[in-house]
Structure formats: structure tokens, C-alpha cells
Chains A and B, each alone.
Chain A
Amino acid sequence: MTEVDPRVLARARARVTGPVADAAAAPVPAGLVGVTDGERRWALPAWPDGATPALLEEYQSAPMPLERPGPLRRVLAAALRCCWRNLDDDPWPGRPAQIADVLEVHVASVRGDAELMRRWAVGDLRRLADTGWLLLDEEAGTVRLGPRTALWPPESLPPLRALLRRMPPPPAEGA
């Protein structure tokens, strides 16, 4: 078998596994971006010259399709509303929120049968956790923002802040 440079292999492996939590002090393979919340760190893909996959739009090329993209985005917005409390800060790492609160914010911002919306939103939360956008702890009933949110470029945040300000607040806010 041809020997593969271990640094090359580490970067290829990161693409296969997606963001996997490691100890905060663990070294980040060269060429990947290390994102830490103080306790853990995730190694994420690094893109040249500040490009993000959003660049595909400029070239009329479709990214990997999402299932239920609309609901998925709305559930992510509800989670952001609950975890990113101080909008003057960066979203990452934010703070943990109750899954129940996220579901309430979601139900309050969409139309439809509340019970059904809640049930679907739980599936959407799981899929957002599968892809590193959220960290979900269903046993503890909590959700946190995922490491991918740390890579959002600063210039993409103002419209997101404006959107979140228009959303209903989490139930416990001010309590």
C-alpha cells in the first residue's frame, strides 16, 4: 500500500467524520481550524481566503440538498434565539438552552398544529445535531450551538441578528 502522509490523512479523515469533540488541549491537525468552547475542541475544515460554501451561489452551483430545508432553517433560528442571548457577542459558544424552550419559540414563530410542529422540530433538531450545527443532549433536555457556527464570517452576522430580534423571545427570558 502506498504510504499516505499522516497530515494529509488527518485532513481527509476530518472530512469523513465531520466535527468530532476532542479534549480542548488536543492539537489541531495542520490545515484544519480548531474551535473550542473551553472544555472541548472540534477540528473543522479550513477554507482559503475566507471563502465559504455560500460561494457556490455566485456560480449557480447547488450545494448538497437538505431535507425539509425551510423547517430546518426555522428550527435552527429558534435554537439561535435561545442560545445566542447577547446579540452583541459572537454566536459561538453561546449558552445551553432547554430543548423545550427552543420548541416553544419555534411553535410561536410558525403556523400550524403546535403538537405536530413540536414533533417535527425534534426530528429537525436531531438532523441539525448530526451535521454539527447544534449540540443536542436529549437526556439532559438541552441544546447548544454547534462548532460550525464559530465559522460564520463576521459580515454574515448582522442580518442574522436582525432576524433574531424579530423572533419571539424564549419563555424563561427575564426570569
Chain B
Amino acid sequence: MSGPEGPAANASELLEPLLRPYDEKRRAELVAAYMAVEHAADPVPEVRFAALREPALRRTLAQMLELSGRTLIRTSRGHWTSGYDDAVREALAADPACTLPVADRAVLVLVLIHSVAIPRAEGLLTDDTWLSPYPAPLEELRRRSQLTVSELEGALRRLRAAGLVTQVKAGADEASGGYVPGPQFHRLTEAARRRLTEELILAAGPDSPLAAAIRARRRGMRRGRT
């Protein structure tokens, strides 16, 4: 059996070299910030975490995250979370065990089109955020997803549990309910956000000049690598 001492001790060894130089107080601040950016649903404010406020501690925190392929992400002034490092993300996306089932992906794309892409095209969402107050109506997901009701429900249940979508209840003022992108979308790096935007352009307007430009740039990048 695995008592907590044995394997857990082995596990803290990973971070020990980074934590060792610090006194007890600093060490506890680093651990608190580490747990907060990794496990809180939303970005956490730096006013509550010394290790996020102070640049030297923040560098150590970034190194702690790096050991597990994670990186520190500033989502807005004074708010931080963590996400996958770009190279790690690419490697994970190539691993079938790490990608979502195709039905889940289809539903997620529909949510993104209705709650982010369309409002952005209408000028309702301006910056490059992937969060949105405009829910994709369930009826629209039913109609467009080509999935049976139970497949759609299963996909939405898994997406909700993963924090990839959030359900918005219909309001009393006849505001319609539905689904918006979930808190995980805070955890995208700038490169991941850009990539997602590009993929959506390629899917929604494959013949547009913008799509042609994206394809040309990617061809250039691939040549640059080889």
C-alpha cells in the first residue's frame, strides 16, 4: 500500500531544489500561489498572493510550474493563472489519449462560434478574449451538432465537468440561457489564443483572404523549422 510518506515525499523532491533556498514564510507563500494558480477555477488576484506580486518569487513560481509543463499566465492587470506551455501543448495535442472525443469537440466549436465568433464579428466582443457573456442556445446546439439528444447531453456533461463550457440559466427577464466558454479558457497562452482564432477563421471562412494568409504563414513556419 502507498502510505502518504513514501511516494509523496518522492513527489515533493521535484520542487525541493527550487523551494530549499527560501525561509518558511516565503516557502509557504510559493506553495500557496502554486496551488492557487493550478487549482482555482478563475485567475487569482496578486494582492492575495505575495509570490505573484514579487517578481523574484514569481520567477521561482514559474520554474515550479515549468517542471510539469505549465506556465504562468497573466489574464488581466494583477490576475494570474496557469496553463500548458506552448511546446507541451503541441506535444499533448498530438497524443490521442489527451484529446477530446470528436463529439465533444464538435459541441465546443459550436459554443465558440455562437458565443464568441459571431458576437465578435458583430463588434460586441472586442479584445482577443475567449470568454463571452453571450450564451449559445441549447436549441442551436441541438439543431446544428448532428448528434442525438443523449450524445449531446453526454458531450455537454463532460465539457462542463472539464470547465470547458459553463451553463447559463435563462434569466427571469427572458434573457435566453445556454452555454458559454468555461473557465479553462482563461488558461490559454497568447499563442494558444491566436491559434484558436486562426482555426476558427479556417473553419468558418476557408476561402477568405484571411484564411489564405494564415495558411501561407503556417507554410512559411514549417519551412523555417526544417
Is the beta-carbon distance between B40 and A12 smaller than 8 angstroms? Answer: no
B70 within 8 A of A: yes
Nearest CB of A to B151, in Å: 16
Is the beta-carbon distance between A9 and B88 smaller than 8 angstroms? Answer: yes
Is the beta-carbon distance between B41 and A151 smaller than 8 angstroms? Answer: no
Nearest CB of A to B51, in Å: 11
Write the chain A residue with the least CB distance to B95: A13
Evaluate whether A34 and B39 lie within 8 angstroms (CB atoms) in the complex, with A11-B69, A12-B70, A127-B161 already known. Answer: no
Is the beta-carbon distance between A53 and B39 smaller than 8 angstroms? Answer: yes
Choose the segment among B2-10, B141-149, B193-201 that binds chain A (4+ C-beta atoms closer than 8 Å).
Answer: B2-10
B27 within 8 A of A: yes
Provide the residues of chain B in CB contact with A150, threshold 8 Å: 2, 4
Provide the residues of chain A in CB contact with B85, threshold 8 Å: 12
Is the beta-carbon distance between A33 and B68 smaller than 8 angstroms? Answer: no
The secondary structure that dominates the B interface is: helix
User: How many residues in A have their beta carbons less than 8 Å from beta carbons of B?
Assistant: 50
A33 CA to B5 CA, complexed, in Å: 10
Evaluate whether A31 and B11 lie within 8 angstroms (CB atoms) in the complex, with A51-B35, A64-B163 already known. Answer: yes
B58 within 8 A of A: no
Other-chain contact of B91, A4, A48, A63, A67 (Cβ < 8 Å): A4
**Number of chain B interface residues as a range:** 35 or more
A15 within 8 A of B: yes
Other-chain contact of B92, A12, A52, A154 (Cβ < 8 Å): A12
Is the beta-carbon distance between B68 and A15 smaller than 8 angstroms? Answer: yes
Other-chain contact of A130, B35, B69, B91, B161 (Cβ < 8 Å): B161
Evaluate whether A17 and B14 lie within 8 angstroms (CB atoms) in the complex, with A51-B31, A55-B32, A92-B1 already known. Answer: no
Most chain B CB within 10 A, of A12, A13, A30, is at A12
- For residues 18 through 59 of chain A, which have their beta carbon under 8 Å from a beta carbon of chain B? 28, 30-36, 38, 46-53, 55-56, 58-59
A150 CA to B5 CA, complexed, in Å: 12
Provide the residues of chain A in CB contact with B98, threshold 8 Å: 13, 16-17
- For residues 31 through 64 of chain B, which have their beta carbon under 8 Å from a beta carbon of chain A? 31-32, 34-36, 39-42, 44, 48-49, 64
Is the beta-carbon distance between B11 and A1 smaller than 8 angstroms? Answer: no
Provide the residues of chain B in CB contact with A30, threshold 8 Å: 10, 14
Write the chain A residue with the least CB distance to B15: A48
Write the chain B residue with the least CB distance to A59: B48
A62 within 8 A of B: yes
B134 within 8 A of A: no
Evaluate whether A12 and B48 lie within 8 angstroms (CB atoms) in the complex, with A4-B91, A59-B36, A65-B41 already known. Answer: no
A67 CA to B95 CA, complexed, in Å: 29
Is the beta-carbon distance between A46 and B44 smaller than 8 angstroms? Answer: no
Nearest CB of B to A35, in Å: 5
16 contacts between A and B (CB under 8 A): A11-B67, A31-B13, A36-B2, A46-B14, A49-B31, A51-B35, A56-B35, A56-B36, A59-B48, A61-B48, A63-B40, A67-B161, A127-B161, A131-B161, A151-B8, A153-B4
Apart from A3-B87, A13-B98, A31-B11, what 14 extra A-B contacts exist at CB < 8 Å? A1-B87, A16-B92, A17-B97, A30-B10, A46-B7, A46-B11, A48-B34, A56-B35, A56-B39, A59-B49, A61-B36, A62-B40, A92-B1, A150-B4
Query: Which residues of A approach B to under 8 Å, CB–CB?
Result: 1-4, 8-9, 11-13, 15-17, 28, 30-36, 38, 46-53, 55-56, 58-65, 67, 90, 92-93, 127, 130-131, 150-151, 153-154
